[in-house]
Amino acid sequence: MAFVQVMTYKTEHRAEMDAALQRWLEDTQDVRRARRRLLLRDRNAEDSYMEVVFFDSYEDAMHNSRLPATTMLSQQFERLISDGFHFRDFDVADEEL
């Protein structure tokens, strides 16, 4: 079953987060199982973001979580955000269009 993880956070350090993510993408090119990522910026709350990451399964998401590069990325992100990460995990119940 497809799986989606949603993360919300606030940061004034978007460029540094983007650079750290680019390094992660390069470091995990052959081993990551994330299929797609959306980065959303809140129009009504300055410096507020939501990331939506798509996986083929929950197990694939857990594989990604255990990668050493993911641990490093998470530690870098934690230093750059102001209010901590807020995670939500969803199984895809239906998909249209």
pTM, rounded to two decimals: 0.91
> Is 40 domain-assigned?
yes
H/E stretch holding 75 reads helix 68-80
> Is 63 domain-assigned?
yes
> What integer is the mean pLDDT of 68-86?
94
> Is 97 domain-assigned?
no
Number of domains the chain is built from: 1
> Residues 30-45, buried b or exposed e (16+ Cβ, 10 A)?
eebebeeeeeeeeeee
> Is 81 domain-assigned?
yes
For helices 14-27 and 68-80, the axis angle rounded to 10 degrees is 180
Supply the range of the domain harboring residue 77.
Answer: 3-91
pLDDT, one tens digit per residue, over 20-37 is 999 999 999 999 999 999
> Is 96 domain-assigned?
no
Beta bridge partners of 51: 7, 39
Beta bridge partners of 52: 6, 38
Residue 39 sits in a domain whose CATH number is 3.30.70.100
> Is 85 domain-assigned?
yes
